[in-house]
Chain A
């Protein structure tokens, strides 16, 4: 049976040599190497659940009045888009499960990407020959954020409308061409023409997933072409990679991880409510609600929009740069700019242009670790600032004071983190050095003691 399958495959495709090599491809082992895989499997779940949802979703802004399963919305004026999402939630059997799993998978997808990115950054895995892989990964993160935003915007509930209004305003605020861009994308002033909905839809279900999938393929090909990195260890050198082969060792592990990710996502989708759009109601431009929060991965943008002091850059009665630009456009540009430029900057500053197959431990590169920790802290504080209104509601800490605190903290704390992280790295290095020297000295003493009787 096996013989026949193998022979059939090889004689038709000539792939036996390739398959043999692929099955014995070596995966170095470390728990943090699984983060990227988690993202990959979350993406698979996203595609699967997403395809199901497209079969029921109607991306139309045509007006309708609801008279479906969910009584509290009876008689509400809404778009067909929102109506179809309510129907997916209440009328389509298993629809709510798939919809919530899709939403959870999106959140987990971005969590996994960000953690994977942190792992890559702090271990120096982005260095030659894997910088190209890293850039592709960053692009996927950017597209994933946009994809997620479009996904929850399509539902046309109150929160998605508020999110779109903010997105529109941020695009409008882009210097010089902002209004033209916003008009192009929306087809006119907000809330735009019906065509905008089909544009969002085709971007969400076709363009961006295809783009992400293509980049994902390139990402994986490059990983395989240059092979995995590994931490230094016995037999693990810049020349030799040590690990478990794809088959039989790694395949069941990885499939196990895929099943585990899928299990967690379906359990979340079935048991933990997410984005109950029937409670938010349909969106109309004149409606808003307090306590509105985006999905977690856009929390840093709402935090930044709230932190920026109130000013537009104006000349007389002419506006140049409206306020949302700083928090909504400049911040992501800065963060992604930093991430994209870092490998180049590090090469320039350290003069290290060598090949690196061995990973650094964070302490091995104190400056990189310190800068990374500082920038991460900066972004994390801005993210936290986005929750100030909820903190006020929950803990009664004045909103104004919180914002004031964050306005100072986002600049002070990262500097502190920079200094402390670098110090910690150096101390860890020093303690290792001491330990090594002590061991050497002990060994020498022991050898000397062993030699003693001979003399």
Chain B
């Protein structure tokens, strides 16, 4: 009944409209129309102008040779140029272009038919092969071997299996201790309540086996581990300056100390505050270090100069898996 009524209406409309010019079809807009906003346009123009002005200011500041605080002005002009540009763009987004909220379908979660086809494709492509697993195994083995071959040259990066260099230090019996300028240190140079950095004479200063921290303590305070008698002539002790925790330089000497809280002088690493007791073989007093600083036995030469009496008591620097804490070579 309803359908019939519709047909009738359609027929009437068609009859009436016959011969007339069809109305101009309004082209359907993709983006809805909006009202012009001359004020916003004006503002955006102003902001673009400001952007350009700041950008030019940047060039000018760059060109002027003698401007003070050049970095600051360069940053200010360039930063402001971008800030004005940002303001202009955001104004355009909010006032000058149409803000529409569109709806869109999320992509279909999966394509079962295509998945099926892909699987079939792979399976049927291997239809001529009778020993598939063996082939895959063989291919896998070839790939693995080739992969191993291709990464082998990476071993050239370093002597991956040579552990000996980690134990090597420039210290031998008789090597003189020198200061930053390469001048020999004398026992009489070493005062109490401060610390000195010393190096092995003639050695590379960037070798972590070289730098020492040297302090002088009162003989009565010294309590070195057994077997280190005579390692500290005139109360002077020397330890590797490289922290046994994470390889930083032990660059702090806590002396003078505040007796009620910190009664003992201590060597401190500024990285993670490992604290060592110089009077007792650099035993760890505090912090994350797992072992003492290696001690270097000292002797005073005939001219009063300080010399090594041998090598360190243990390995220098950070530890690693399987390292034996033995005396280095």
Which residues does A use to contact B, with CB under 8 Å?
A: 24-26, 93-94, 96-97, 100-101, 129, 162, 165-166, 168-170, 172-180, 182-191, 193, 195, 199, 225-227, 235, 238-245, 248-250, 252-253, 255-260, 262-271, 284-292, 302, 305-306, 308-312, 314, 317-324, 327-328, 355, 357, 389, 399-400
Contact = CB atoms under 8 A, between A and B. Distances in A.
Interface in B73-123: 73-76, 78-83, 85-90, 92-93, 97-107, 109
A308 B288 CA distance: 6
Contacts, number: 298
A167 to B, nearest CB: 9
Contacts of B289: 310, 323
Interface of B: 31, 62, 70-76, 78-83, 85-90, 92-93, 97-107, 109, 154-155, 157-163, 165-166, 197, 199, 205-208, 210-211, 241-242, 245-252, 269-274, 284, 286-291, 317-326
Nearest to A240: B103
A177 B241 CA distance: 26
B288 A305 contact: yes
Contact of B103 (A26, A226, A311): A26
B320 A178 contact: yes
Contacts of B71: 94, 96-97, 100, 270
Contacts of A292: 270-271
B319 A173 contact: yes
B86 A259 contact: yes
14 contacts: A93-B70, A172-B318, A178-B321, A191-B206, A199-B157, A245-B102, A260-B86, A263-B83, A286-B210, A287-B251, A290-B252, A292-B270, A319-B290, A400-B286
A3 B233 CA distance: 92
A245 B93 CA distance: 12
Contacts of A284: 205-206
Given A270-B71, A287-B251, A259 B158 contact: no
A239 B108 CA distance: 9
B79 A240 contact: no
A267 B157 contact: no
Contact of B90 (A199, A252, A327): A252
Listed residue (A169, A191, A291) with the most chain B CB atoms within 10 angstroms of its CB: A169
B75 A227 contact: no
A65 to B, nearest CB: 14
Contacts of A302: 271-272
A170 B245 CA distance: 9
Nearest to B61: A94
Contacts of B284: 310
Contact of A264 (B79, B89, B208): B79
A179 B250 contact: no
B248 A288 contact: yes
B266 to A, nearest CB: 13
Question: Which 7 pairs, one residue from A and one from B, show the smallest C-beta to C-beta distance?
Answer: A270-B75, A312-B290, A267-B79, A286-B211, A256-B89, A263-B82, A169-B318
Contact of B320 (A235, A250, A322, A355): A322
A178 B323 CA distance: 11
